[in-house]
Amino acid sequence: MVQTFDATAWSGLLLGLLALFAGIGALRQPGLWNRMVTEILNSPALQLVSAMVELGIGALIYLTNPWLPGDVFACVMKAVGGFLMIEALMVAGFCDIYAHFWLRNLGHLDRRWAAVTVVWGLALAVPAVLRFH
């Protein structure tokens, strides 16, 4: 019996569940993301560690998902991996500017960002689950 590993389904499911539960946490505790971004902004060590973790996750997602024009979800996951890598480089090189952008937007849109994150998590997790046979 041949078993295949669907990297697209697994990366979509895990990233989707992470986004879903991060959004739920932010809805439960308003101001959570604002504090998190402030802590990262105030700590060069957290800036580098955050950038390294995000770069690693983004690279893993990007490299394990093929670009197959007929497989829209795989293409979306590859694009998400690329975006994560670009964001990681922004955090590593321009955290002061990038974090201030998020702090301006998270302050008054906290619940909306959290709701969008929940929807984004579902948008990744549901098609990923449907890929499993």
Residue 46 lies in a domain: yes
Q: Is residue 117 part of a domain?
A: yes
10 Å CB burial of residue 61 (0-12, 13-18, 19+) is: buried
Number of domains in the chain: 1
- Looking at residue 120, what is its pLDDT? 96
Instruction: Answer yes or no: is 87 within a domain.
Output: yes
pLDDT of amino acid 38: 87
Inside any domain, residue 100: yes
89: in domain: yes
Q: Say if 1 falls within a structural domain.
A: no
pLDDT of amino acid 1: 52
> Is residue 67 situated within a structural domain?
yes
Question: Any idea which residue has 């990038």 for tokens?
Answer: 98
- For every one of its 133 residues, what pLDDT tens digit does the chain have, with 9 covering 90 and above? 556 889 999 999 999 999 999 999 999 998 888 888 889 889 999 999 999 999 999 999 999 999 999 999 999 999 999 999 999 999 999 988 888 887 777 666 778 889 999 999 999 999 999 998 7
- What residues contact 26, with CB distance under 8 A and at least 6 apart? 32, 33, 110, 111, 113, 114, 117
Structure tokens at 9: 């389904």
Please tell me the chain's helix, strand, coil percentages from 3-state DSSP, rounded to the nearest 5: 85, 0, 15
What pLDDT, on a 0 to 100 scale, did the predictor assign at position 4?
82
Structural domain boundaries, residue 102? 7-131
Q: Is residue 2 part of a domain?
A: no
> Residue 89's pLDDT is what?
96
